[in-house]
Structure 1
């Protein structure tokens, strides 16, 4: 891929990480509106974030190497802070306006610090405590409820929808998604997905009483089907694996999510979710990812190696579970095709990075990538 293409990708990545002009305009407009109190500190945070980031001076200008290094980096922590505080504003209003006994948790990419957008949306679980689901094979002692869990969750959704419209009259509350409500605009600095749910006490939770092992139950409002998930175990296992490899896992996930986002901008949508991408790289070699503490391109080396291994061994790839073991990662037939597509994009990036870091013409690329890149630290 010519450098002009990477120039476009780098500019797109800067916009994604720092917010588009439209996003910044909306944020500034809402902050300056005197009807909204307590937002002054947002202005101080947002306005300070147009400064160049460290990665923008690493590698040659408009190079694939600079693009890869930038794609690995976390979004500035101040952006993440605003995302979490926006979810907190939603939580405070729902606590005030709803009569149920509620608990709240944030799930998804933001608490894991694997989001790639400065103006990243946030998933907020709202958990009704009046009843719960539990695994029958567990050791816990429960008294069955006479209530229908589907009715409880749908009633919570309806009450939350009304409460959000009342609390944020200038915002838009979208009730069309089957699993969640989405609130945007007005004084809110981020989009927030509100997910009505109740607790699900898994077999493991009944033994350990650790919230990491506890799940949640949500409802598909169209079909009224239960959906069981264990988001806290997913978060814990990704975090633990990332600690083992000095942050290398997060860097790999961000890199692949960035490649996926740019591929979509360029007309090719890769049908793997952020969750799927994180799950695939969760199974990569921690020792190989750990080397990023000394040379960051080691993350690209292991990402390249692991994805190509999966493509060459489809039976093994299709047996991999998501980190919380609730399903197979590639459970849909089209998911393996998407893996092949994503791997092809990684391979093209690798070819360009090799060209830049070695200066060797294409016809001489007989080196192992790990041998070439491990001594090419880009400062």
Structure 2
């Protein structure tokens, strides 16, 4: 059965306040106190467009999660990091967050957190063609990334179980060890990893140019990611859009969460898709937030009708194509249809006379409305 707009607003509110994952906070008194304090409070978006529920849903779906919830997510990950730092004997580690929380495009008050546990300079890989490598700054070793990361994971799994005996430690994940429950107010995905000094990093020394090697335990291989470049590229473009790019990313993530049909696009790819929207059009959303919905609909519709163009688009860190499988493009079509319907509903709520008859008219109708 199709979800009503009231049901979507209720689901949105539950995600933002952590009601959908309240059990994770059960053993953390500070998190529970903060939850109880905020549960009865209305957010600003809930007081807008009170007679226009689809409009209110869109306005809410774009907003960042309350800063207190985000702070608790970060603090929980650092609790896990502190315990690992004390208990891991075979490696010196440093810790960084990756993913939606540090990028501030997460849509849940109680959001999973990705914690990179990085082997420090005692072991790393590097591009042999880089400037530092050419000058002899690195020392080759017979150790391999695969074995080092397997060894690290073998230490981290029991260390987490011993540090948090009341928590659930799920070791079945291929790339991360998931720990949740007990005294932890959030679920934390612990990712064994080490640094990779790319040629760009050897030249710039900038964190966003530095790669990360992670373990795929199930397939016994390693993978290279650039999580800090993704964060940097999206954040820089969001500045150009005056904050509207991250709002657009949150919007499509919430639409996916509330869709009638499954949309098989991960958060990383949803951010990548909106990364290629028209920043000039999104910038107008700084003053007229519904303009973000208008540009999101236009952009997704354009990609669906121009598949040859869409299939050439790269993720923000430049490492692969966004639509690297037919299933992802099919998911784009589903997402686009969901946004089409939402645009129509919002336009109908805000039309003075007859409803706008096509997407172009609907975009024009809503993109200069203030709430």
For the criterion TM > 0.5, the same-fold answer is yes
Q: Does 1:114 align with 2:105?
A: yes
Per-residue deviation, residues 5-63 of structure 1 (Å, max 9, x unmatched): 10110001111111226x33552x4135xxxxxxx4x3442222211100001113461
- Offset, 1:366: 7.6
Q: Distance in 2 between matches of 1:186 and 1:230?
A: 32
Mapping of 1:93-112 within 5 angstroms? 93-99=83-89, 100-112=91-103
- Offset, 1:114: 0.4
Question: Equivalent residue of 1:136, what SS?
Answer: coil
Q: TM-score, normalised by structure 1?
A: 0.92
**Bigger Cα displacement from structure 2, 323-332 vs 127-136:** 127-136
Q: Distance in 1 between matches of 2:32 and 2:264?
A: 36
Q: Distance in 1 between matches of 2:186 and 2:179?
A: 9
Query: What's the counterpart of residue 37 of structure 1?
Result: none
Flag the 1:367–1:170 CA change in 2: closer, same or farther, 3 A.
closer
Unaligned runs of 5+ in 1: 33-39
Q: Does 1:200 align with 2:196?
A: yes
Query: What's the counterpart of residue 27 of structure 2?
Result: 30
- Are the counterparts in 2 of residues 10 and 62 from structure 1 also a CA contact under 8 Å? no
Q: TM-score, normalised by structure 2?
A: 0.94
Q: Does 1:136 align with 2:128?
A: yes
Mapping of 1:178-217 within 5 angstroms? 178-217=174-213
Q: Distance in 1 between matches of 2:168 and 2:243?
A: 37
Query: What's the counterpart of residue 36 of structure 1?
Result: none
Q: Considering only aligned residues, what root-mean-square deviation do their CA atoms show, in Å?
A: 1.7
Unaligned runs of 5+ in 2: none
Q: Does 1:237 align with 2:228?
A: no
Query: What's the counterpart of residue 126 of structure 1?
Result: 117
Q: Distance in 1 between matches of 2:67 and 2:356?
A: 43
Query: What's the counterpart of residue 275 of structure 1?
Result: 268
Q: Does 1:355 align with 2:353?
A: no
Q: Distance in 1 between matches of 2:356 and 2:58?
A: 23
Q: Distance in 2 between matches of 1:365 and 1:101?
A: 59
Query: What's the counterpart of residue 87 of structure 1?
Result: 77
Flag the 1:192–1:62 CA change in 2: closer, same or farther, 3 A.
farther
Per-residue deviation, residues 158-179 of structure 1 (Å, max 9, x unmatched): 1111111010000011010110
Mapping of 1:300-315 within 5 angstroms? 300-315=293-308
Q: Distance in 2 between matches of 1:170 and 1:121?
A: 18
Query: What's the counterpart of residue 249 of structure 1?
Result: 245
Flag the 1:61–1:25 CA change in 2: closer, same or farther, 3 A.
farther
Question: Equivalent residue of 2:128, what SS?
Answer: coil
Per-residue deviation, residues 157-212 of structure 1 (Å, max 9, x unmatched): 11111111010000011010110100000000000000000101111101111111
- Offset, 1:367: 5.5
Query: What's the counterpart of residue 157 of structure 1?
Result: 153
- Offset, 1:136: 2.6
Query: What's the counterpart of residue 7 of structure 2?
Result: 8
Question: Equivalent residue of 1:140, what SS?
Answer: helix
Question: Equivalent residue of 1:137, what SS?
Answer: coil
Q: Distance in 2 between matches of 1:151 and 1:163?
A: 19
Q: Distance in 1 between matches of 2:360 and 2:311?
A: 30
- Are the counterparts in 1 of residues 96 and 117 from structure 2 also a CA contact under 8 Å? yes
